[in-house]
Amino acid sequence: MLDEYPNLFAYVARGEARPAFERAFDAQLAVFTAASTG
């Protein structure tokens, strides 16, 4: 879907590369994983 919108693709890539995004994603994934396993 993003292939049709190169500017949007670049925007998303920049956002995902930010350290704050990585920390937030990791925290959310940890909560989801904990809830899924028990």
User: 7 with 15: CB under 8 angstroms?
Assistant: no
Which of these, 6, 9, 29, lies nearest to 17 by C-alpha position? 9
**Mean pLDDT across the stretch 3-15?**
95
**Mean pLDDT across the stretch 5-29?**
96
Q: Would you kindly state where each structural domain of the chain is located, as residue ranges?
A: 2-37
**Mean pLDDT across the stretch 4-20?**
96
Query: DSSP letter string over 1-38?
Result: -GGG-HHHHHHHHHHHHSHHHHHHHHHHHHHHHHHHH-
